[in-house]
Structure 1
Amino acid sequence: MATPPSRTSTIQARAIKMLWRSLAGRGPGTLWRLARLIGPLVHRFSRREREVTETNLVQVYPDMGAAERRRLAGDSLTHSAATMLEIGFAWMGEPERVESSLLAIHGRELLDEARAEGRGVIVLAPHFGNWEILNFWLSSHFPFTAMYEPPKIGELDAVTRAGRERMGASLVPTNPRGVAALLKALKRSEAIGILPDQEPSWGSGVFAPFFGRPAYTATLLPKLVARTEARVVTGVARRLPGRGFEIHFLAADERVYSADEVTSATGVNACVEAAIALDPAQYQWEYKRYRKVIQEQEGHPDHRRFRIY
């Protein structure tokens, strides 16, 4: 029997849904101004987000000065606040208004060429900019399937699914049935979306370098490529503060096509790094990307123990 929702989670869900609905009609300019007010408060009072963000930045930009890292951390948390505020706009705003907020599409030919060749497209969509806006555009212009894991606050499941599916996206579960659905979509020369920067469960990934440090990375991609010969691209919706967004599709690092899982995962992480380079402040650095650690193994000098959180 499912555990009934707690009173706290019910109140949280209602408040979040009210926020999204109240902001659905607001444009990017208003939402960015609100984010600039909220972001510094998150940086000051939310210890967890601040510390994880700053710890990650130390790992990936070790040569950056401390003052510059603090500014980057603050800017990143402001962009994360903007993403939260923009969800109502992406999921519930008038589709014409959301479409008009997209001021440029870069690299669309990568998708069009693959489909013209009868190949499916795997879009690696890291937590950069506003990935919900990316989902909106992809599902508006292509048959699009993405894996979906219900939110931690269960009462938000219905509104989340409705928002992501409203332009035609098909959401599938993060289990073997979902993988089978992704394979079928690729064989129909459709597009699918994968989050490349979330840590998978043990046994579903390998350690591969991410900004020079081992990060546990999913190995789903080489399995999909091997069975479908799909084209891989990186896709992000980059925020143009106060004005709107621009979509970028980037050709994938060639290593993603390797049958070797470590090589492919290394290519995946390189794709994420290339997207971050567009504007490091727009990456969600408060996610614990280095949470899993490599255990020391006798006779394996490349395996070492480290812990940064």
Structure 2
Amino acid sequence: MAETRSTSLQARAIGTLWKALAGRRLGTLWRLSRLAGPLVHRFSRREREVTEINLAEVYPARSAAERRRLARESLTHSTATMLELGFAWMGAPERVEASILEVHGRELLDEARAEGRGVIVLAPHFGNWEVLNFWLSGHFPFTAMYEPPKIAELDPVIRRGRERMGASLVPTNPRGVAALLKALKRSEAIGILPDQEPDWGSGVFAPFFGRPAYTATLLPKLVARTEARVVTGVARRIPGRGFEIHFLAADERVCSPDEAESATGVNACVEAAIALDPAQYQWEYKRYRKVVEEQEGVPNHQAFRLY
């Protein structure tokens, strides 16, 4: 009972904070992030260590000092994303729309829809993906998978924020996949998170910055059944001013019927997005948590030793 009350209080506190920050200027939120980010780097051991381990793996040629600087910048951007959630979910729609300073590559979506094709938007954890959701759902019929948060009391707040511009949220199960297929066959847009590690049996190993990472295989199944166009989409933060949305043509391998080849293309798409500004990627996610080792010719699933 005490734990339930504590969780409920935590949910109310978070919801109140988001609401309070919703009306703040982006410049103010960025200044707060610049103050809080170094504290996260210093005192949040888990986030700091995972970020620094990942950066050492993907940028081995960079100096240790440069990687530490990048880790601090990355955690500052992650802090900014958290502080901007109220803005993206509760801020006046005209303010959020005005914060989107430019949209690059929109023609990729328009051309696909003109051809009667659906669009699969690969949206990695880069910049502010909630602003990307806001723009997509405000300009196109848009469907995305949604998994309720661990703090159940926050579910209605998050769901209301993500759906307020017309997005349709579907569960992360076969029923949700069926809804994605239907949306694509209606020549609509759907969103997929390409950099979340799937459960065993729902992915394959494919290179991510040269190291095998367990990657979901949902994409080739959707492409094979719908002939949808695939693009990468991100909302890149322009600190203190707003965001620029980028739609990038997908690596051609994403359309391969071979799951490993398609997953390799997916990871290449994420790498291309990260190249826009590596500090804006969420490096604190344990992307290399799973590994396959061969023992007498039989795959042996084990936790990755880095974490």
* TM-score between both structures, scaled by the size of structure 2: 0.97
The 2-side partners of 1:270 and 1:166 are apart by 32
The aligned amino acid for 1:278 is L
2:261 to 253, 260, 263: 263
**SS where residue 49 of structure 1 aligns?**
helix
Gaps of 5+ in 1: none
Aligned pair 1:243/2:235, yes or no? no
Q: Report the CA distance shift for 1:193/1:5 in structure 2 as closer, same or farther (over 3 A).
A: farther
1:125-204 counterparts in 2 under 5 A?
Answer: 125-204=123-202
The share of aligned pairs that are identical, in percent, is 84
Asked if the contact 2:142–2:191 (Cα under 8 Å) also holds between the matched residues in 1, the reply is: yes
Asked if the contact 1:145–1:169 (Cα under 8 Å) also holds between the matched residues in 2, the reply is: yes
**SS where residue 26 of structure 1 aligns?**
coil
Q: CA RMSD in A?
A: 1.6
The 2-side partners of 1:73 and 1:6 are apart by 35
- Give the aligned partner of residue 4 of structure 2: 6
Deviation at 1:306, TM superposition (A): 5.2
**SS where residue 293 of structure 1 aligns?**
strand
1:80-159 counterparts in 2 under 5 A?
Answer: 80-159=78-157
Deviation at 1:305, TM superposition (A): 8.7
The aligned amino acid for 1:255 is R
The aligned amino acid for 2:144 is A
The 2-side partners of 1:5 and 1:265 are apart by 41
Asked if the contact 2:290–2:302 (Cα under 8 Å) also holds between the matched residues in 1, the reply is: no
Which structure has the highest strand share of the two?
A: 2
**SS where residue 14 of structure 1 aligns?**
helix
**SS where residue 296 of structure 1 aligns?**
strand
**SS where residue 295 of structure 1 aligns?**
strand
**SS where residue 165 of structure 2 aligns?**
coil
1:47 to 24, 27, 45: 45
Asked if the contact 1:145–1:191 (Cα under 8 Å) also holds between the matched residues in 2, the reply is: yes
Deviation at 1:299, TM superposition (A): 3.7
- Give the aligned partner of residue 287 of structure 2: 289
2:71 to 32, 48, 73: 73
Deviation at 1:296, TM superposition (A): 2.2
Q: Deviations over 1:127-163 (max 9, x none)?
A: 0000000000000000000000001111110000000
Moved beyond 4 Å, runs of 4+: 303-306
Deviation at 1:23, TM superposition (A): 0.5
- Give the aligned partner of residue 273 of structure 1: 271
